Amino acid sequence: MDHKIKTKLPLLICLIICFIGYAVAQVNAETPIADYIFETIEVPGVDFLEVAASNDFGDYAGNTRNIDGTKTIGFTLIDGVFKTYDFPGSLNTYFYALDNAGKAAGHYKGQDELYHGVIMENGELTQYDFPGAAQTLIYGISDETGALSGNVVDEAGVSRAFSGELSFMFPGAVATYGDFVNAAGAVVGSYRDADGIPHGFIRHPDGSFTTIDLPEMPNLEFLFVNTITDAGVIGFRAKAANDILRSYILLPSGILHEVRLPGSVITVVRNVNQDGSIIGYYDTTDGRRYGFIGSPNTQPNGEDYGRTFSMHLSKGLNMLSVPLKPTVHMTARSLAVKTGATVVIALNAANQRFIGWTPSAPDNGFPIEGAKGYIVNLPRARDVVFTGVGWTNQAAPTSTPIAMPRETWAFVVSGQLAGKQKFDGYQITVQNLRKNTIMTAQVRNNYFAAATADLSYRSVVEAGDKIEITVTDTSGNVVSEKFNFTVNATHLENAVMNVKLDGIGSPKRSQLLQNYPNPFNPETWIPYHLAEAGVVSLSIYDAAGKLVRTFSLGHKPAGFYQNRENAVYWDGRNALGETVASGVYFYQLTTPTFHQTKRMIILK
Q: Residue 275: its pLDDT value, please?
A: 77
User: What are the residues facing 554 on neighbouring strands?
Assistant: 536
Q: In 334-352, which positions are buried (b, 16+ CB within 10 angstroms) versus exposed (e)? A: bbbbbbbbbbbbbbeeeee
Q: Residue 404: its pLDDT value, please?
A: 58
Q: Residue 589: its pLDDT value, please?
A: 97
Q: Which residue has the higher pLDDT, 6 or 78?
A: 78
Angle at 472 between CA 471 and CA 477, to 5 degrees: 140
Q: Residue 3: its pLDDT value, please?
A: 28
| 192 sits in which H/E element | strand 187-192
Q: Residue 298: its pLDDT value, please?
A: 66
Give Cβ neighbours of residue 478 (< 8 Å, ≥ 6 apart). 470, 471, 472, 560, 562, 563
Q: Which residue has the higher pLDDT, 312 or 431?
A: 431
Contact between 603 and 582 (Cβ < 8 Å): yes
What is the pLDDT confidence band of residue 516, given thresholds at 50, 70 and 90? very high
Answer yes or no: same fold for 3-251+274-281 and 307-499.
Answer: no
Would you say residue 506 has pLDDT above 50? yes
Taking the model in full, what pTM does it have?
0.72
- Please state, in angstroms and rounded to a whole number, the distance separating the CA atoms of residues 237 and 227: 10
283-287 long-range contacts (CB < 8 A, ≥24 apart) are 287/47
CATH 2.120.10 for domain 3-251+274-281, yes or no, is yes
What is the third-level CATH fold of 307-499? Immunoglobulin-like (2.60.40)
Contact between 147 and 139 (Cβ < 8 Å): no
Architecture category of domain 511-602 in CATH: Sandwich (2.60)
Phi and psi angles of residue 31, each rounded to the nearest 5 degrees, phi first: -125, 95
Domain residues of the chain, as ranges? 3-251+274-281, 307-499, 511-602
The dihedral region occupied by 567, where left means phi > 0, alpha psi between -120 and 50, and beta the remainder, is beta
What is the pLDDT confidence band of residue 25, given thresholds at 50, 70 and 90? very low
> In this predicted model, what pLDDT tens digit does every residue of 123-169 receive, in sequence order?
999 999 999 999 999 999 988 788 999 999 999 999 999 999 999 99
> In this predicted model, what pLDDT tens digit does every residue of 374-420 receive, in sequence order?
999 999 888 888 877 777 755 544 455 555 567 899 999 999 998 77
Number of Cβ within a 10 Å radius of residue 12? 10
Percent of the chain with pLDDT over 70: 91
Q: Residue 396: its pLDDT value, please?
A: 46
Q: In 421-452, which positions are buried (b, 16+ CB within 10 angstroms) versus exposed (e)? A: eebeebbbbbbbeeeeeebebebbebbbbbbb
CA 30 to chain centre: 42
> In this predicted model, what pLDDT tens digit does every residue of 553-588 receive, in sequence order?
999 999 899 888 889 999 999 999 999 999 999 999
Would you say residue 306 has pLDDT above 80? no
CB hemisphere CA count around 359 (13 angstroms): 20
> In this predicted model, what pLDDT tens digit does every residue of 468-497 receive, in sequence order?
999 998 888 888 889 999 999 999 999 999
What is the pLDDT confidence band of residue 299, given thresholds at 50, 70 and 90? low
End-to-end CA distance of the chain: 98
Would you say residue 7 has pLDDT above 70? no
Q: Residue 12: its pLDDT value, please?
A: 33
The least confident of 169-178, 301-310, 324-333 is 301-310
